[in-house]
Amino acid sequence: MRSWGVLGGLAAALAAGVYVLWGPIAQRKRRRRGLVPGLLNLGNTCFMNSLLQGLSSCPSFIKWLEEFTAQYKTEQNQSAEHQYLSLTLLHLLRALSCQEVPEDDVLDASCLLEVLRIYRWQISSFEEQDAHELFHVLTSSLEDERDRQPRVTHLFDVHSLEPEIIQKQITCRTRGSLPPMSNRWKSQHPFHGRLTSNMVCKHCEHQSPVRYDTFDSLSLSIPAAVWGRPLTLDHCLHHFISSESVKDVVCDNCTKIQAEGTLNGQSIENQRTTFVKQLKLGKLPQCLCIHLQRLSWSNQGTPLKRHEHVQFNEFLIMDIYKYHVPVHKPSQNDLNQKNSEETKPGTKDGIAVKPSDAEQTHGTKSLIMNGACSTSFLMSSGAFPLAAFPECSSPVYLYRLMAVVVHHGDMHSGHFVTYRRSPPSSKSPLSVSNQWLWISDDTVRKASLQEVLSSSAYLLFYERVHSKVQHQRLELRAEE
């Protein structure tokens, strides 16, 4: 018995030595597989954990935070991280994207709730919250942090100087190029976009001035399902930008036309007509967050959750939803010249069918539609080899799926999980990983792309893919 005790003590000492030297076996395996750290659930904080995992899969957002927080590096105060949301968020996202080596495989994100309290957001860790609402809390708080900073006019920022000075058209001669102007406080976060609202009178076809509204995420309602027809993300996007009639709207142009046909001095009432209103995307962001509205109401007024599966692809083409400045109507001479053209194959009613400049640039509607190309092509991993598919014109606004937030349960209780891409390897940090992960708080495992595309998405995080020409233009703008 005494020898067994000695052997047991030696085994315990050996196990303790192995733990001290190499750490726990689970930790070694996790880092060897390339899995990301999980997040500790502080009560009911799965909504926060899932959102942080989704944001950490967006490299453009992390890069923007790094540029945004560059000013704080000069501050000597060590507690700056606990005062600024941008610093707290950056450190969490860098750790979740394996850009910083965390001490543990399970991180504690309670620091985010603490810094949000400084911004007057009281979010309890024991009450169930919504991940989409937290997303808007973070983006609006980052904008507040940016607006609170002092805006010092740069010496060579002529556009910010007094109008009298600009009118004098002062020119300065320097040796070499002017120093670059800091655009930190003018630049928006990569989720910032703009919506356009277009109103056209049905009677006189007069178009009112286009209105612009900002957005951080596209909140799409799910249209009614048709039997035998699957719901797709395109259906939701088309439903979002579909035109609607607005009745009893004063038309200034109709009133003006009516006044021109009356005698002088006769009062004319404002002419009210029906307008057609349509939304489109005036500015598409670098990072696109799409929220699928799964809240509905019964006839009795009780909230219900919609569980329909909305099909989405790994790649998303947004050209057809982009607003373009309307082209002027052709004159009568242009029409006569067009009618005089000879009838050739591919003509219609004797007039040659020639794509417009916008169609040549952005592709026709049938080619731009998501899903018009091969399904296996759109769902494939890696790059977007358009040359292999000549029937698909090259899209300008192409997005790659980076993360999906899923809600399990009903409107009263549930749980948020995240599908996200694994961070790229240190050997090629600019590449995009094809490995997907399933994350539920502190539990992390590998997942397939098919599993991701089969999930009932609540939040979709896409990031824009730029072509080589677009990359060169962006680099030139950054140098200017």
pLDDT value for 262: 73
**How much is the average pLDDT of 124-148?**
89
Strands (E), 32-89: 38-39
Q: Is the pLDDT of residue 118 over 50?
A: yes
Which residue pairs, CB below 8 angstroms and at least 24 apart, start in 85-88? Answer: 85/112, 85/115, 85/116, 85/119, 85/138, 85/141, 85/142, 85/145, 86/142, 86/145, 88/112, 88/115
pLDDT value for 329: 52
Question: Of 430 and 209, which is predicted with more confidence?
Answer: 209
Question: Of 228 and 443, which is predicted with more confidence?
Answer: 443
Q: Is residue 134 included in any domain, yes or no?
A: yes
Q: Is residue 269 included in any domain, yes or no?
A: no
Q: Is residue 275 included in any domain, yes or no?
A: no
Confidence label for 297 from pLDDT (cuts 50, 70 and 90): confident
pLDDT value for 196: 93
Can you give the CATH number for the domain in which 412 is found? 3.90.70.10
Q: Is residue 302 included in any domain, yes or no?
A: yes
Q: Is the pLDDT of residue 175 over 70?
A: no
pLDDT value for 368: 36
At 178-195, the pLDDT tens digits run 444 444 445 789 999 999
pLDDT value for 149: 66
Euclidean distance between CA atoms 480 and 477, whole angstroms:
5
Look at residues 133, 193, 213, 94 and name the one whose alpha carbon lies nearest to residue 458: 133
Euclidean distance between CA atoms 313 and 376, whole angstroms:
10
Q: Is the pLDDT of residue 173 over 50?
A: no
Q: Is residue 66 included in any domain, yes or no?
A: yes
At 384-436, the pLDDT tens digits run 444 433 444 688 999 999 999 999 998 888 999 999 999 987 666 678 889 99
Has 189 been annotated as catalytic?
no
Euclidean distance between CA atoms 41 and 49, whole angstroms:
8
Q: By percentage, how much of the chain surpasses pLDDT 90?
A: 42
Euclidean distance between CA atoms 170 and 84, whole angstroms:
39
For the chain, how far is it from start to end, CA to CA, in angstroms? 80
Q: Is residue 61 included in any domain, yes or no?
A: yes
pLDDT value for 291: 97
pLDDT value for 10: 52
Catalytic residue among 46, 98, 373, 392: 46
Euclidean distance between CA atoms 152 and 75, whole angstroms:
17
Q: Is residue 309 included in any domain, yes or no?
A: yes
Q: Is residue 474 included in any domain, yes or no?
A: yes
Q: Is the pLDDT of residue 212 over 80?
A: yes
Catalytic residue among 154, 192, 238, 415: 415
Total domains in the fold of the chain: 1
Q: The pTM is what?
A: 0.74
Has 415 been annotated as catalytic?
yes
Look at residues 277, 304, 284, 301 and name the one whose alpha carbon lies nearest to residue 293: 304
At 350-361, the pLDDT tens digits run 333 333 333 333
Confidence label for 215 from pLDDT (cuts 50, 70 and 90): very high
Residue 470 sits in which domain range? Answer: 36-73+80-147+287-322+395-479
Strands (E), 306-440: 310-311, 315-317, 347-348, 351-352, 398-409, 414-421, 436-440
**How much is the average pLDDT of 319-347?**
58
- Highest-pLDDT range among 29-33, 99-103, 122-126: 122-126
pLDDT value for 77: 55
